[in-house]
Structure 1
Amino acid sequence: MTDYLHIQLPPDQIRGISSIGLAHMGDAVYELLVRTWLCAHGKATGKGLHRATVALVCAPKQAELAQRILPLLTEEEQAVFRRGRNANVHSIPAHASRAQYQQATALEALLGWLHLSGRHDRVEQLFAVMMEGE
């Protein structure tokens, strides 16, 4: 049985996934991390929990948090981030600028790539830096 929570795909298979596919995966990884972080830190309860989640997963906030980790990225991670930032997205939410949405997509692509690569410790490390002071 495949352990999809702790998957490790071969590099060739990951290279075959589009930037949008990596961002799709990373969006889910990031949201799970945020929801877990909120519950673990008692930051919100009840209906406030949804509001707190939305505030952290929106593109402007993701773009802001991405800035915290950029200096820590390896060359390979920077390349994945750039690939995600340059993804051809067709629609941008009204509450985000194009630049914010590109940064958010880049962050999600990086998290998706790390997750699918089985680099869960690195995901946790970068997420911890992003959440410092929140």
Structure 2
Amino acid sequence: MTDFLHPMMDEHALRQCSALALAHMGDSVYELMTRGWLIASGLVTSRNLHRETIRLVCAGAQAAGAHVIQPMLTEEEQAVFRHGRNAKPKSVPKSSSPTEYALATAVESLFGWLYLRGQYDRLNELFEVILPAAQQWAQQK
């Protein structure tokens, strides 16, 4: 049986993925991690969970997190990050600047790439560093 919850891709297949395809996967991984953290932190009402998820998953919060993880990235991770940052999406949401959206796409591309490689420990390590920056950004808004 295929495990769709933990898909694994080899390096050749990953190189064939566009930055936006990786960001598509990474967006859901980042949101799932955020939702898991919120529930584990004791938020239990769906209204509070939804509101906090939106605040922490938006492009501005992810961009804030991007700044703090960049020095931690390996050369290979930096290449994926740059590829995601330089991707050209068809549109940018009104709620974020093009710069914020580019950094958010970079984070999502990196998270998608790490997830599809099965590097869950590294995802957790980076998420723990991103989270305080995202929380701080969200509190200022």
For Structure 1 versus Structure 2, the TM-score category normalised by the shorter chain is over 0.9
Count of residues in correspondence between the two structures: 134
| TM-score between both structures, scaled by the size of structure 1 | 0.95
User: Corresponding residue for 2:124?
Assistant: 124
**Structure 2 residues not aligned, in runs of 5+:** 136-141
Q: Is the 8 A contact 1:86 1:102 kept in 2?
A: yes
Task: Give unpaired runs (5+ residues) of structure 1.
Answer: none
1:40 shift after superposition: 0.3
Equivalent AA in structure 1 for residue 11 of structure 2: P
CA RMSD of aligned residues (A): 1.3
* Mapped contact 1:68–1:130 kept (Cα < 8 A): yes
1:1-134 counterparts in 2 under 5 A? 1-43=1-43, 45-132=45-132, 134=135
Alignment partners' CA distance in 1, 2:72 and 2:55: 24
Which residue identity does 2:103 align to in structure 1? Q
Instruction: State, as a whole percentage, how many aligned pairs show the same letter.
Output: 51
Normalised to the residue count of structure 2, the TM-score between the two structures is: 0.90
Instruction: State the one-letter code of the partner of 1:36.
Output: G
Instruction: Extract structure 1 runs of 4+ deviating beyond 6 A.
Output: none
> How far apart, CA to CA, are the structure 1 residues paired with 2:61 and 2:132?
14
For the Cα contact (< 8 Å) 2:62–2:130, is it kept in 1?
A: no
